[in-house]
A and B are shown apart, each in its own frame.
Chain A
Amino acid sequence: GAGVSQSPSNKVTEKGKDVELRCDPISGHTALYWYRQRLGQGLEFLIYFQGNSAPDKSGLPSDRFSAERTGESVSTLTIQRTQQEDSAVYLCASSLLSGGHADTQYFGPGTRLTVL
């Protein structure tokens, strides 16, 4: 079946603009995760959804970041008034979440965001 897809694959924007990143999880996956990967660094957890509920939003770096999920489907990560330090690859992953976070996460290819 289809894997996790993300769009756009690349996004170049000017400082101060808003951007919206999209993630389509694997059908039937309850859990959806967003991560940020800056150049040369590890994965930074941003937020996770259980269904359309986000139990913990504390990973979002600032109030310029927000995320939504429609049911157990598409999720969007919105960054308002982008800054140069927001430049990174944004990764989305989904999993079944049948037993806490023990389930395998399936990652999308990522969206490379460049803020000029």
Chain B
Amino acid sequence: AQSVTQLGSHVSVSEGALVLLRCNYSSSVPPYLFWYVQYPNQGLQLLLKYTTGATLVKGINGFEAEFKKSETSFHLTKPSAHMSDAAEYFCAVSGWGYQKVTFGTGTKLQVIP
């Protein structure tokens, strides 16, 4: 079985501040981990993903995430928030042999000017 927990359904940060969105997963096989973003009135798009290899992955728009197996975490960070980062962010997990991708419940990021 696999599951994803996103801590905090809403996160607010000031413009220019660090963005940290938390994701913990459970998987019985080596996981594939994803962050997707849904901007207002737009469809979901991939921010970044981890499958194998380097545990620090970089995505679009300055975001990055680090796979920490010992902590079963895949937190999303960005050093300096921009107003255009306001969106809903979804963490997701899958793995070889699974028949689906499991998404978390999402975290809405608000950026305060």
Q: List residues of A whose CB falls within 8 A of some B CB.
A: 33, 35, 41-43, 45, 48, 55-56, 59, 91, 93, 99-102, 104-105, 107-110
B77 within 8 A of A: no
* A42 B106 Cβ-Cβ under 8 A: yes
Instruction: Indicate whether A100 sits within 8 Å of B95 (C-beta atoms), given known contacts A43-B90, A105-B46, A109-B43.
Output: yes
User: Which of A45, A102, A105 makes the CB contact (< 8 A) with B51?
Assistant: A102
Other-chain residue from A42, A56, A99 in contact with B103 (beta carbon distance below 8 A): A42
Which residue in A41, A45, A109, A110 is a CB contact (below 8 Å) of B101?
Answer: A45
| A43-B44, A45-B100 known, 19 other contacts, Cβ within 8 Å | A33-B101, A41-B106, A42-B90, A42-B104, A42-B105, A45-B101, A45-B103, A48-B100, A93-B44, A99-B51, A99-B96, A100-B94, A101-B98, A101-B100, A102-B49, A102-B51, A104-B49, A105-B46, A109-B43
Q: How far, in whole Å, are A28 and B36 apart by their CA atoms in the complex?
A: 22
Q: What band does the interface of chain B fall in when counting residues whose beta carbon is under 8 Å from A?
A: 20 to 34
Please indicate the chain A residues that have their CB under 8 angstroms from the CB of B49 in the complex.
102, 104
Q: A100-B32, A102-B49, A104-B49 are in contact. Are A41 and B100 (CB under 8 A)?
A: no
16 interchain pairs (CB within 8 A)?
A: A42-B104, A42-B106, A45-B100, A45-B103, A55-B99, A91-B43, A91-B44, A99-B51, A99-B96, A100-B32, A100-B95, A100-B98, A101-B32, A104-B46, A107-B45, A109-B43
A56 and B97 CA atoms in complex are apart in Å by 12
Q: Are B100 and A56 in contact (CB under 8 A)?
A: yes
0/1 string, B63-94, CB within 8 A of A gives 1? 00000000000000000000000000010101
Q: Which residues of A contact B104 (CB under 8 A)?
A: 42
Q: Which residues of B contact A45 (CB under 8 A)?
A: 100-103
Say how far A6's CB is from chain B's closest CB, in angstroms: 9
